[in-house]
Amino acid sequence: MAVEAGHQVLNLDCLTYAGNLASLASVAKHPAYQFAQVDITDADAVNARVKNYRPDAVMHLAAESHVDRSIDGPGQFIQTNVIGTYNLLQSSLNHWRSLPPEDADRFRFLHVSTDEVYGSLGAEGKFTETTSYDPHSPYSATKASSDHLARAWHDTYGLPVLVTNCSNNYGPYQFPEKLIPVVILKCLRGESIPVYGKGENIRDWLYVDDHCRALMAVANHGKPGETYNIGGNNERTNLQLVQFLCVLMDELSPKTIPNTSPRPGSGRGVGGEGAIALASSHSSLITFVTDRPGHDLRYAIDATKIERELNWRPQEDFESGFRKTVQWYLDNQSWWQSIPSNEWAGR
């Protein structure tokens, strides 16, 4: 999206298990796009890239982000989300201080974060930009720490920092450990679809392209030192969401099972010549599993501020965004089939 808007882009990524260069095929050869395999926990590598590229803005989206993995191995989340953020802030600060006044006035550091830093809501209310932090998982705790660092670099050093906190993202190219692709791919493989607890946890869902449009609006027009919440206005329980995805899969990729009863008058036994195939709902694959520790009940974003100040609103509603997403995974099976299933199937 930044390339389409006429910007030059340098993409830094260390290509962990979730990195996939195939996702960048459409822009890989664009003259305005460059890629560098860099780990943001490597301060020297980050410094070198920022110093040589001399960016007008840094958009910090790099993070370890899967809650289950943060429970199993919190150390990597501390390294990437805390130490990595510190490295980017320091490199950006040094670069910003070297700029002539006019360029320094235009420079922005956009720190992209999550609504999970706010903790859990009850049945009523929504997160605002002034909601107190109350993280409950190693993932959300490390993101909360990175948010505080970003704001401190603004308040202490004057670095023109902007912070965004978004609700759950979904859409094309999402790594298959996340809930949406897990459900779609489990449906395609005829495997059990795991739902934590009773599926009562509520999330607000934001289509990835809407999120990108919001980030561009904040980077171009946001006020340094401010925080902007970004939400999709799409609250659903996990069970409601999984059931809806099953309905879409029933429509777009029907599942059939053999009818074990003989056709009337056929004189055949089970599985014989008279057997026919029947359509079956993918919802029959839903299985409830033990809830994960510290599982927040409800997230909901109040996006009034970004709507009012930057004139941003999500373009996709609940049905349109998820229909596009399911269709993308059906149309791009070679993309997800290239990912080893042991990286995601058990999550």
Q: Which residues are known to be catalytic? A: 115-116, 139
Q: Shortest CA distance to 199 belongs to which of 287, 137, 127, 115?
A: 287
112 is written with which tokens? 């992209």
The rounded distance, in Å, linking the Cα atoms of 82 and 141 is 10
The answer to whether the CB of 15 falls within 8 A of the CB of 175 is no
Q: Shortest CA distance to 326 belongs to which of 199, 203, 180?
A: 180
The rounded distance, in Å, linking the Cα atoms of 138 and 70 is 5
Residue 235 one-letter amino acid: E
Q: Which residue has the tokens 């941003």?
A: 312
Torsion angle of C-alpha atoms 147, 148, 150, 151, degrees rounded to 10: 120
167 is written with which tokens? 């609700």
Contacts with 98 (C-beta within 8 Å, 6 or more apart), sequence order: none
Q: What are phi and psi of 155, to 5 degrees?
A: -70, -35
Residue 269 one-letter amino acid: G
Helix boundaries (H) for the chain: 43-53, 67-72, 74-77, 84-98, 101-106, 138-157, 179-189, 208-221, 238-252, 304-310, 318-331, 333-337
Q: Shortest CA distance to 25 belongs to which of 172, 219, 183, 217?
A: 172
The answer to whether the CB of 259 falls within 8 A of the CB of 81 is no
The answer to whether the CB of 332 falls within 8 A of the CB of 181 is no
